[in-house]
Each structure stands twice: as structure tokens, then as C-alpha cells.
Amino acid sequence: MSLFFQPKVRVEDFEGAAMPHFVELYRTARLLAQNPAEAEDLVQEVYLQAWKSFHRFEMGTNCRAWLFKILFHRLHHFRRRWAKAANVEPFENPEDQDNLMATIPVPQEIRDEDVLKALSKVPTEFREVVLLADVQEFSYKEIAETMNLPLGTVMSRLSRGRKLLRQELAGVASSYGIEAGSDQGRQGESA
């Protein structure tokens, strides 16, 4: 094969392989970026990079894992850019902050928003692995390849991430009157 020869990439092949994963990529980007506009930009960058590199993709291999690997590479690039752009100005007077707070009504059940909020409090390196394993249902091996981590590190981060998420959710459950070890909190568990 010549150095200048690249096989012709068909739009139909790219769309057929990559587009079925759009919703999963966006959902994960939304959870990681925690901002819809940034998630949209991130997914757009993923598909742009995937299109540019599609001539190197081997049809029949795991396109989903390949796209998620691109997602995490782009995410780390975006995070560096977002960190530079973040410029938060503190309140001049600490009492001003109290005037902006509203009382939040106590919900009667744990909602998706509660779980997502708890997940957002889990440190990024653990949250990423939890999302890939528990939301996207990647295998440990796929996560290790996607994130360029040793398998043992993936397993460790997943264990720690799940533990941190349980701790965050315990606080939510406690606010609803569900205590750890109570019969109400243990419904659905087998003996």
C-alpha cells in the first residue's frame, strides 16, 4: 500500500458503524461534562475525530469501544480548556450568597436527579469508570482499553467509585428517613 493511498471511506459505512452509538456517547458526555452545551461540543468533536480516523478503523471490530476511547481523549482535552476558561468571581459580601439560596422541597422518593447529583460528587477518575461499567455496561477489559489503564486499576477504581456513590446515596436516603440497615432500606435484598 502506498504511503499516499488511503482506502476510500464511504459515508454509509461510517454512519452504519458509528451513528448507532450517538445516544450512549451523548448521555455519557452529558454526565461527565455536566453541561448540555459542552456535552454537545464534546460529542461533535468525537464524531469529527472518528470521521477523520475512520480509514484506520477495522470494520467488524468494536466501534462502540473505539468511539468511547475517542470520547475520553477529547474529554481530557476539553477539561484542560475548561479549566483555563473557568473564572468564577466570589461574592463581595458573604451575606449576598444567603440571599440567593432557595429552600428545596423534600421529595418523597429518590429520583434520577438525586442519583445523578450523587454521581457528580464522585471524583472524576472514579465516576468515569462507574459510568462505563454500570451505565454503558463495558467489560473491565473494554474499560481498560478505552481509558488506557491497567485492568487492576480499573477494578480498583470501580470498587472505590461504587463505594463513594453508595456513601453519597446513603445521605440522600437518610434525608428521606431511610436508615442503613433498616427493614425499609433493605427491601428487595435477599436473605
| Mean per-residue pLDDT over the chain, rounded | 78
- pLDDT tens-place string over residues 60-85: 888 999 999 999 888 887 777 766 66
Q: Which amino acid is at 91?
A: F
Least confident of 40-44, 76-80, 99-103: 99-103
Give per-residue burial for 133-148: e unless 16+ CB within 10 Å, then b. Answer: beebebebebbbbbbe
How far is Cα 25 from Cα 28, in angstroms, rounded to an integer?
5
Residue ranges and CATH numbers for the domains of the chain are 7-85 (1.10.1740.10), 109-177 (1.10.10.10)
Is residue 189 over pLDDT 60?
no
Residue 34 — left, alpha, or beta (φ > 0 → left; ψ -120 to 50 → alpha)? left
Q: What is the mean pLDDT of residues 100-108?
A: 48
pTM of the predicted structure, to 2 decimals: 0.55
Q: What is the pLDDT at residue 59? A: 83
